[in-house]
Structure 1
Amino acid sequence: MAGMEVQNVFYTLPEEEGANVYARAVDALGKHFAPQANYERHMFRKLDQSPTESVDQYITVATEIRDV
């Protein structure tokens, strides 16, 4: 059984004629609850420019973290 958060994600899936509902649900829920993506997003949002870091250096680091 799943909780309300899983149900909310499931009910927001668009209905597609002839699509395998189970496969779509597993794929969507897997993407939604993927811990790696959440960790990477956290690291990107946590990024802060140090006082000795130039804007170019900061943008380079931010781009590298974004592309992971």
Structure 2
Amino acid sequence: MPKRLISPYINEGALRRFSVRAGKAIPKSRMDEAMRGVKKIRLKRGVHVGDVVADNFLGLGVNLIATREIIR
């Protein structure tokens, strides 16, 4: 089954975005669902580089990991 890594941006609020990366590849057949799911994520606290933003994303066993720091 073909798989792809994703590195999307998450809206942090007030027109700010920050980047995350997938901890491992996501099946290509679920790529559209994954990108829609990323758009629903909202942060409630600050994050540091390397923090897990979404654990077991979409039940795929994939973590979304922050690649940028957001201080609140």
Normalised TM-score (structure 2): 0.30
Higher helix content, 1 or 2: 1
Q: Which has the larger radius of gyration?
A: 1
Normalised TM-score (structure 1): 0.31
Higher strand content, 1 or 2: 2
* Greater relative CO, 1 or 2 (CA 8 Å, sep 6+): 2
